[in-house]
Amino acid sequence: MTVRARFAPSPTGRLHAGNLRTALFNWLFARKNSGKFVLRIEDTDAARSTKAFEQAIIADLKWAGLDWDIGPIRQSERLGVYREAAEKLVERGLAYRCWCSKERLEELKKEQLAKGMAPRYDGRCRSGKTGAAEIQPVIRFLVLDGKISFTDLVHGEMSFDANSFGDFIIIGSDGVAGYNFAVVVDDAEEGITHVIRGDDHLSNTPRQMLLFNAIGAALPRFAHLPLVLGGDKAPLGKRKTWASIEELRRDGFLPLAILNSTVRLGWSPKGGDKLLELLELIEEFDLERLSKSPSVFDIQRLRGYNKEAVGGTSAHALTGILDIKCTDAVFLEKAVEAAKHCAHTLTGLKTAILPLITEPEISIEAAAVLKEPYSKAVLKAAIAALSGTDAIDEAGYKTIIEAIKKTSGENGKRLFSPLRAALTGSLEGMELVKIFSLLRGKKITERLKRRL
């Protein structure tokens, strides 16, 4: 058996960390088992689906390095396939046309709720009686009473009562396939062997199992993942833009960091919290260590992985990613190398580097420090200590700092903060020794004089 897994997003919003987790688990499982990964776009909701969202989802997956072997398959291009499959079920007596109006169904629902019953269709049109010609009927799947059981790869043995949901719609009055029917027809045609998805789809599984049996297709194995929660303990959704992959990309997070953070949302590698490359994740991934408990998307944990990922990326590669205009390519790469280990994001890396390339803007905090009387003394002492110096190595830096201490009488923050504020416009950033080495004596002196 060739393993086939799929990711089937609905293009009604941005891809978020929870969606990416589903895509990643399916992708890792397929790659681990030398199988196929299918990308399906479930866009039958014409009112909410957009091409822009589809393109954004595809772009995010490519950026993350999750390639696919088959697809993208668009459900909107397969409506005729679903209608034909539904007609075959009608011919076999496994489905039927229903002419009940929306008003009747709403009234039925109210009556059932008033009696404390779960809303379900009462089977009025099962007899095959036709309705008014002006009414476009739906097609309902015939559900017989009984238990539907399966072994979930996360939750174990699961059982549902078919009587709880009754005959459900597989083709709407507009000719569009219902979600469960389209999914089953697609999964069967694509030979999907494993369905790894969120717990929010668990209630769909018994309906889909009945449909698989009805069309004569093999059942896939199911693994339902507890949902990913935000810091507010509510499930992540498409409206929480701070967790969208697009937003995280814009904030300067690298694909490897996002994947390492995401893969631990309900699964734990044997390597613990170590940053793992994609090939290492493929090697380690299995379904046995999937958690039964919800997981929380932790932005601070992601920042930690991203700091490690930025630090482990070559300066040359980072320079190609950063949008920084600099006429001196050699200097820019040296600056990136010097700053990359102290930055949590690409945005932070860029912020640390820009003051070395252009005249820095002075922050409010830095300006306040530079107004202090002791700052003037430090800057004057630094100018004197740098006299005749250009290239500065670590030993030269120590000599200069000792000279500034001796002349100004300052130490600690009262010595280093004025220097950092004058040179970078900020009170934090990369080590001062690296700043001295990059800017060199002449440029440092010029900047210090402008701050006096």
Reading the chain (452 residues) residue by residue, the pLDDT tens digits are: 899 999 999 999 999 999 999 999 999 999 999 999 999 999 999 899 999 999 999 999 999 999 999 999 999 999 999 999 999 999 999 999 999 988 999 999 999 899 888 889 998 999 877 776 667 899 999 999 999 999 999 999 999 999 889 999 999 999 999 999 999 999 999 999 999 999 999 999 999 999 999 999 999 999 999 999 887 777 776 555 567 999 999 999 999 999 999 999 999 998 788 999 999 999 999 999 999 999 999 999 999 999 999 999 999 999 999 989 999 999 999 999 999 999 999 999 999 999 999 999 999 999 999 999 999 999 999 999 999 899 999 999 999 999 999 999 999 999 999 999 999 999 998 999 999 999 999 999 999 999 98
In sequence order, what are the residues at sequence separation of 6 or more whose Cβ sits closer than 8 angstroms to the Cβ of residue 211?
Answer: 141, 170, 180, 181, 184
Q: How much is the pLDDT for 31?
A: 98
238 is catalytic: yes
Residue 154's φ and ψ, nearest 5 degrees, are: -110, -50
Nearest to 347 by CA among 255, 242, 252: 252
Q: How much is the pLDDT for 117?
A: 85
Q: How much is the pLDDT for 239?
A: 58
Tell me if 422 sits within 8 A of 437, measured CB to CB.
no
Q: Is 385 helix (H, G, I), strand (E, B) or coil?
A: helix
In sequence order, what are the residues at sequence separation of 6 or more whose Cβ sits closer than 8 angstroms to the Cβ of residue 223?
Answer: 152, 153, 154, 194, 195, 196, 197, 287, 290
Strand-pairing partners, residue 6, are: 38
Q: Classify 4 in phi/psi space as left (phi over 0), alpha (psi -120 to 50) or beta.
A: beta
Q: How much is the pLDDT for 272?
A: 82
Q: How far is it, in rounded angstroms, from Cα 366 to Cα 11? A: 46
Q: How much is the pLDDT for 235?
A: 79
Tell me if 372 sits within 8 A of 431, measured CB to CB.
no
Domains annotated for the chain, with CATH where assigned, are 4-72+179-228 (3.40.50.620), 80-171 (3.90.800.10), 241-311 (1.10.1160.10), 315-450 (1.10.10.350)
Catalytic position from the list 238, 240, 340, 434: 238
Give me 3's structure tokens. 């393993």
Q: How much is the pLDDT for 53?
A: 96
